[in-house]
Amino acid sequence: MVKHKQVKIKKAVKRHPKRKFRKPYLVVAFLGVMAWALVGYVERPFKAELPTPSADALYKQSKAPIEDRVRDLLGRMSLEEKVGQLALVDKNSLIKTEDIKRYNLGAILSGAGAKPRDNTPAGWVAMIDSFKAEAQKTRLQIPILYGLDANHGHSNIPGATVFPHFIGLGAAGDPALVSQVATATAEELDSTGVNWSYSPSLDAPEDIRWGRVYETFGDNPALNAQLGASYISGLQIEHVAASAKHFLGTGSMLWGRSKNQNFKIDQGRVETTTEEEAQMLMPYRAAVGADVKSVMIGLQDYNGQPIIQNKNLITGKLKGELGFKGFVVSDWYGIYEWQQSKYLATVKAFNAGVDMAMLPFNYKMFQRDMSSAVKNGDISEERLNDAVSRILRVKFELGLFDVATIDNKADSIGSGPHRQLARQAVAKSAVLLKNEASLPLLANSEKVLVAGSSADNIGRQCGAWTVEWQGIDGNWLPGATSILKGIEQTVGTNSVVYSQSADYENGIRAKNGIVVVGEKPYAEGWGDNQEPKLSDDDQATIKKMRSHVDNLIVVIVSGRPLILNQADVSSWDSLVAVWLPGSEGAGVADVLFGRTKFSGKLPIAWPASIQQMPIKEGKTKDGTPLLFARGFGL
């Protein structure tokens, strides 16, 4: 229609070539109206010319077989409705809530830190409900997925239970515990309407300089496979879809090769062999075995090609060889990584096997590109239908069309049983690396000195992905217990003498001194670090404590092994790694004072120097010995 009108204008001009047009503003106005009409046409809402399905339509029947429901629904969908299902939009980029209906959006996410203004459970319920209600206004009433990164609990809400980050769960190495943590997380998510989590990470980091080491279960693909599968089952049993990520080989990215100028490793490059690839696929095989509903593709270049365009890996290996039946989602703006033309990028990613695009913004452009690609034959109808079917299947499997099957456990956020479980996980994740101070200590009334930057700092013990993407350094999370508080609760406040920097008066002495030190919170590439180690302040605090006590116990709160000065370590009596334990700091006191026995094992090799990076299968790059091998723990 628009094209036709343009032809007419051209003809009119031809017929009167010399006639002077005296009213140029009319031309401007006319062109303005045309432009408006064109934009309106391109962005026109889907007008429900198609029939509204009756209440007894096959796909609405909860007892009908899922495959029949998928086929029935797919058969009713227009191109616009199908394309909408493929879009995953960040809630902060949603221009208007009505766009969910207008563009038939399939899924919304809270990218890290994207929370409702009222960041309470009720605020989340109200926000997500309003999005879900909008989807119910569409002709086919296809429910939306609402996803976020529940990396260590529903850690977006102050007051939720913050479990240890995955690296701690890797140290605990207990599949049953991991499954319980996942179920508890799902209960907290479910109670606010979240039905999809971008976890677990199955990456196996080879380099501690990477800012995402703590998001993983460690560097052992076999352990990642086992714990990943347990996590997935534990989450999905509560109708929350898991997302195994970041396919594939993201833990093997190389230092100094990031394409993001702010980062060093993250969003970088992987160079790998066929044998290594087989190892990397191992946890995904287990995830598929656990019926994982989605897999997220990483942002890296893989052997010289953007992984998002690697058909051999996504369609061939993951969907073909491994038999993955769920849907493949791209990472944040991932389909556009490494690519100049957005249209071409869309075509290549979907043809490689991506089923849903985490856009996270610019969904109108995506819809235009995707619709044109199908109309132009650059993406086949068959591929489109496969992608949509995969997404719909997951929605049916989660019971989203049959609301009655979803529980609302509103009182589960930060509940007593969940905190108890988290505390147990903290204790199980602590790894005793050196013990000349005869840990555990006796929980008697004997005086104990406590110091260190992470002793009374809940923000540090939780790490990033806690309310804010990069976390918050400081003591601020309601309902949480710091490590210091946990110690005080165990031995009595009167027995604890706390000074953050160990600035004790000269005469003060005690048998035991505990210094809790470590890293500040960081997330993703912002945590890429040339040499992760203790700060000068932390080292000074440890030295000061040394002069006041017989037994010096150093507790490290960190997202990864830190490079330690070996002479320093020799001067400490005991050394404990507690990773990023989360809101229940009392779990640390439980192992220090013997309420729970130490049982954690290193889930990742602990290097002696940065020259040893990367470490592949326990072998350092420079051939020198590790400080502690993976699996070590007294």
Which of 102, 66, 98, 96 lies closest to 83, judged by CA?
Answer: 102
Q: Whose Cβ is closer to ligand BGC: residue 258's or residue 454's?
A: 258
Q: Whose Cβ is closer to ligand BGC: residue 149's or residue 187's?
A: 149
Question: Least distance to ligand BGC from the beta carbon of 572, Å?
Answer: 35
Three-class SS state of 389? helix
Q: Whose Cβ is closer to ligand BGC: residue 524's or residue 584's?
A: 524
The site string for ligand BGC over 242-281 (x = CB under 6 A, - otherwise) reads ---x------------------------------------
The reply on whether position 112 binds ligand BGC by CB under 6 A is yes
Question: Least distance to ligand BGC from the beta carbon of 92, Å?
Answer: 11
Residue choice 124, 166, 198, 247 for contact with ligand BGC (CB under 6 A): 198
Which residue has its beta carbon closest to ligand BGC? 198
Q: Which of 99, 190, 206, 524 is catalytic?
A: 524
| Residue type at position 192 | T
**Angle between helix 363-375 and helix 342-352 axes, rounded to 10 deg:** 70
Q: Whose Cβ is closer to ligand BGC: residue 92's or residue 571's?
A: 92
Residue choice 174, 301, 331, 337 for contact with ligand BGC (CB under 6 A): 331
Which residues, numbered 498-537, are part of the site for ligand BGC (CB under 6 A)? 524
**Has 402 been annotated as catalytic?**
no
The pair phi, psi for residue 290, each rounded to 5°, is -90, 10
The DSSP line for 99-122 is HHHHTT--EEEE-TT---SS-SHH
Count CB neighbours of 261 within 10 A.
Answer: 5
Q: Whose Cβ is closer to ligand BGC: residue 151's or residue 529's?
A: 151
* Spatial distance between the Cα atoms of 434 and 417, rounded to a whole number of angstroms: 32
**Has 331 been annotated as catalytic?**
yes
Residue choice 231, 247, 332, 628 for contact with ligand BGC (CB under 6 A): 332
The DSSP line for 311-359 is HIIIIIIIIIIS---SEEEE-TTGGGTT-S-HHHHHHHHHHHT--BEE-
Q: Whose Cβ is closer to ligand BGC: residue 111's or residue 164's?
A: 111
Which of 525, 589, 30, 565 lies closest to 258, judged by CA?
Answer: 525
Q: How many residues of this chain bind ligand BGC (CB under 6 A)?
A: 8
Question: Least distance to ligand BGC from the beta carbon of 470, Å?
Answer: 12
The reply on whether position 206 binds ligand BGC by CB under 6 A is no
Query: Structure tokens of 71?
Result: 């086929």
**Angle between helix 24-42 and helix 2-15 axes, rounded to 10 deg:** 160
Which residues, numbered 113-152, are part of the site for ligand BGC (CB under 6 A)? 149
The reply on whether position 203 binds ligand BGC by CB under 6 A is no
- At a CB cut-off of 8 Å and minimum separation 6, what does 279 contact? 204, 221
Which of 473, 491, 483 lies closest to 595, judged by CA?
Answer: 491
Residues in the site for ligand BGC, rule: CB under 6 A? 111-112, 149, 198, 245, 331-332, 524
The catalytic site residues sit at 331, 524
